[in-house]
Structure 1
Amino acid sequence: MTDRPGATTLHQPDPRVRRVLERAELEGAELIRFLYADHGGVIRGKATSRSRLGERITSGIGHTVAMMAMNMLDQLQDVEHLGPVGEVRIVPDPSTYVALPHAPGAATMLSDLRLPDGSPWAACPRTFLKDAVAALGAEGYLLRAAFEPEFTLGRRLPDPTGGPDRLVPLDDSLCYAGTGFDTAHDYTIKLIRALETQGLRVEHCHPELGPGQQELSVHHATALRAADNHVLYRETVRGVAMRMAMWASLAPKPLPEQAGNGAHLHLSLWRDGVNVFGDDGVRGWFIGGLLAHLPALTALTCGSVNSFRRLTPRVWAGAYAVHGHDNREAAVRVCSPVGELGEPNLELKPSDSSANPYLSLGAVIHAGLDGIRRRLDPGEPVGVDPGTVPGRYPRLPTSLDEALDALEADETLMEALGPLRRDAYLAVKRSEAAAFAGRDAAYECFQHLRVF
């Protein structure tokens, strides 16, 4: 026997691997992408041909350790143990195999970064979330989650003055307006079909506030699956647009004068089949943990310079470290259950798609679990727009550097991240803050809309 993920014995082939090989053959997948999310929040990966899939699904594909020191501008940072010497393997999770409807002939699997002997690597984001889920499980809890993403749909055109490319929105419809449904209809139907084919059950969809802005949510899942789903969602939103000669951006603020794109994080906590967020005590402690760590959490849930262009008061982004029942200006909203089958859940509003979803959700779990263990009091819920009462409520960080300072000072989250991961993340994100310092909004927004 071997500890390598997906490994087989001579007489007992892993049935998950066998099913993947059969599906790839039946569906005609010529290339299978092994995807992961890096410290810059970028979705990266390598692909194997179908003829080599049987080998690569167990061995993984070789990868330099240095890639986890790369920022979103493809600038390599100087991080100890993440240089030219060293190798990891991109090892796919067979249970995540899906054909890609928007890329005929291709399929994908979400992947872990592992050492050559198959053991976990200390800089793997997906492993960080797995460990957080295990810590929560050791206390008897299971988290279900869903990201609620927004994106801007349009076309990427050259700037007539020679500046960076522009994102020209598909329409100028109003929020929730019927014209927004109609102008984006063909794209939206293709997107829904592509998501459903990959096992992402669509909940609802509507035109949002800004020109070309759309919101489409998928059903909640267990924490790891929710993060995997968000990677697939990001890839599919953009892939479908590209095949229709359009451009879709999930960047927090792709157009500086227009509404920003959030990816609000919805959470429910379960024990023995019961949603314990129906209990004011457990829910309150979890909220207390989120609020206690929220300044540091924003460095992970709002993971880019562009995030803080969105995270401002009076735009429903949750710029204040408060909680409230159905308060859409509070960072943590206690959501009213919808319908007879609705379940209590929390919405974390300072969250967007430039974040690495594995690091983001893993850190949220650690923060909430700390609140439960220490029975942290969240304080009184806020029933007003906190921005209307200047100076009364704590404001969240206003820049990526400020959020990173808070993260470095947060012992709980720094310990959870571990030495290699935290050193790499801080180096990558500090470099991004420095790279955009002094640059204008057009440059910043362009770089983010082309990546996210």
Structure 2
Amino acid sequence: MLNIAETQQLFAEKNIQFFLMSFVDLHGTPRAKLVPAECLEDVCDGAAGFAGFAVDGVGQGPHDPDLSCTPVADSTVFPLPWKPGMAWVAGNLKLDGEDWAYCPRTILSRAMADAKAQGFQFKVGVEPEFFLIDKKTDGSIGIADAGDTLAKPCYGQLSLLRNADFLTSVITYLNQLGYGVYQNDHEDANGQFEINWRYADALTTADRVSFFKFAVKALAEERGLCATFMPKPFANLTGNGSHMHLSLWDADGTDNLFLDKSDPLGLSSLALSFLAGILDHAKGLCALTAPSVNSYKRFGARSPRSGATWAPIYIAYGGNNRTMMVRVPAPGRMEYRTADGSSNPYLASAALLAAGLDGVKRGLRPADPRTGNLFLLSPKEAMAQGIDLLPANLGEALDELEKDDVLCTALGSAYAQTYLETKREEWDEYAEMVAKDVSSWELKRYLGL
């Protein structure tokens, strides 16, 4: 639990006068109250109440009592380097002092505790991609950097230099908070960037991803820019992935249980069963790791201008091969490539852990790893080779999640039902809009018939 005296001392040393008491909603969007530092103890006692009905997926009506947002550890306090006197705190939702089952951070905390009871610590590293864009007065968007026009802009040196003030500020601030950033690059699309930092236990990483998104957006706004993690903001450009690197360690986090140097891919028997679990639950996982209507435009897009989508469409794994849903880039870890920028990092991690451990529990084994460029296969050719497809849209993914007992249990049955209802409303709203709209494609194809 949070040591109030030590945290107040931290505030005193850093001259922190206010903190953002923050939690995330069902979509992963941070919600917060601004609280004076001297009121920390009152906050921990539940004084900073939230009306849950005002937030998506928190499981309350307008008649229900307030929820509190409680900091649970000193490590969840993030002083804002660019805003002296203020700190951001990742908290857990509680009701009358008890954990609230509709809190994404609590769901992951519970999953981590269950894994620890089995002798495991789940570690995750995330590669969040984002665009720096310019919102125009007519509602359209464009790339913020007018000079970023290369047909193949990946690793563009001049683009990095032009955006260096923003990027180096973000990196400097993250490292002041102990992230351990080790690289930043211009990604495959114009105006797209990625910042990578050290992996950690899944809960710490989820906190860091949540804060990272907040920091990138806030710092972009200060410069008159807009940062977006939307999976597919531009039809002709590569989308925003949020690839997740996964490994199981012993309960103390000192021994990597996925590592076996004698295996061709460097994966232990435990790791292969974990991987098989992810493949087995791949379709239901999409509803949590690719949870928006827009996510499936990233999956199903034809090759963009740069020449590759980098997004998987088939349920397959292989070695250091980016056309796979699960890539094994190095011994002792695997990369899940289906997650995108709209995913809630807490729910995505909890679901992946549950799927993997189900594979371990059942002793599943994956088929032989695939090779070659799967992007060149048509769906018919893939099916002929025994390779199944990921869901084509959010509606299909939600259907798969609803019948996946393992994933629904990991979320909690009540929360799973709320999640499904919330996301089905999103899908139905989109489907109704599309059904009524007449697209330019339809006009070109049918007007002259």
TM-score (norm 1): 0.86
Cα deviation, residue 83, structure 1: 4.3
DSSP-derived class of the 1:205 partner: strand
Query: What's the TM-score once normalised by structure 2's chain length?
Result: 0.86
Deviations 1:249-302 (A, max 9, x none): 111112232110111001111126321212431111001000011100111111
How many Å apart are 1:60 and its aligned residue?
A: 5.2
Counterpart position of 2:149: 172
Distance 1:187 1:408, change over 3 A: same
Q: What aligned pairs does 1:374-393 form with structure 2 within 5 A after superposition? A: 374-390=362-378, 391=380, 392=382, 393=387
* Structure 2 stretches lacking a partner, 5+ long: 261-267, 302-307, 438-449
Q: Which amino acid aligns with 1:291?
A: L
CA distances 1:211-240 after superposition (whole Å, capped 9, x unpaired): 110111111001110111111111111111
Aligned equivalent of 1:200 = 179
- Tell me if structure 2 keeps the 8 A contact 1:304–1:354: yes
Q: CA deviation at 1:80?
A: 6.8
Unmatched 5+ stretches in structure 1: 7-15, 71-78, 338-343, 444-452
Which residue identity is paired with 1:412?
A: V
Structure 2 CA distance, aligned partners of 1:180 and 1:43?
30
- The number of equivalent residue pairs is 409
1:288 is matched by which residue type in structure 2?
Answer: A
Q: Identity of counterpart residues, as a percentage? A: 32
Describe the shift of the 1:260–1:269 C-alpha distance in structure 2 as closer, same or farther (beyond 3 A).
Answer: same
Aligned match for 2:248, one of 264, 269, 272: 269
Separation of aligned partners in 2, 1:366 and 1:82: 29
Alignment match, 2:38: 51
2:316 match: secondary structure:
strand
Partner SS for 2:68: strand
C-alpha contact (below 8 Å) 1:149/1:263 kept by paired residues: yes
Counterparts in 2 of 1:205 and 1:51: CA distance versus 1, 3 Å: same
Question: 1:104 is paired with a residue of what secondary structure?
Answer: coil
Which residue is 2:70 aligned to? 91
Shift of 1:179: 1.2
Shift of 1:438: 4.9
Partner Cα separation in structure 2 for residue 80 and residue 347 of structure 1:
33
Offset of 1:318 from its aligned partner? Answer: 1.9
Q: Could you tell me how far apart the structure 1 residues matched to 2:400 and 2:54 are?
A: 25
Aligned equivalent of 2:292 = 304
**Residue pair 2:126, 2:205 contacting (<8 A) in 1 also:** yes
The amino acid of 2:94's aligned partner reads R
CA shift in 2, pair 1:91/1:429, >3 Å: same
2:63 and 2:149 map into 1 onto residues whose CA distance is 48
Instruction: Indicate the residue corresponding to 2:27 in structure 1.
Output: 40
1:345 maps to 2:325: no
Q: Give the counterpart letter for 1:46 in structure 2.
A: K
* Distance in 1 between residues matched to 2:33 and 2:118, nearest whole Å: 37
Tell me, yes or no, if the aligned pair for 2:42 and 2:48 is still in contact at 8 Å: no
Which residue of the partner structure matches residue 331 of structure 1?
325
Match of 1:230 in 2: 209
* Aligned: 1:105 with 2:77: no
Give how far 1:439 is off.
4.3
Alpha-carbon deviations, 1:365-416, whole Å to 9, x = none? 0000000010112111111222323332211011111111000010111122
Distance of 1:58 and 1:51 partners within structure 2:
13
User: Which residue of the other structure, out of 243, 247, 271, is the alignment partner of 1:283?
Assistant: 271
Q: 1:172 to 1:28 in 2, by over 3 A?
A: farther
The aligned counterpart of 1:69 is 56
Q: Is the 8 A contact 1:65 1:84 kept in 2?
A: no
Answer whether contact 2:354 2:410 (CA < 8 A) is retained.
Answer: yes
In the other structure, the counterpart of 1:139 is 118
- From the superposition, tell whether residues 245 and 423 of structure 1 become closer, same or farther in structure 2 (CA, over 3 Å): same
Cα pair distance change 1:84/1:156, threshold 3 Å: farther
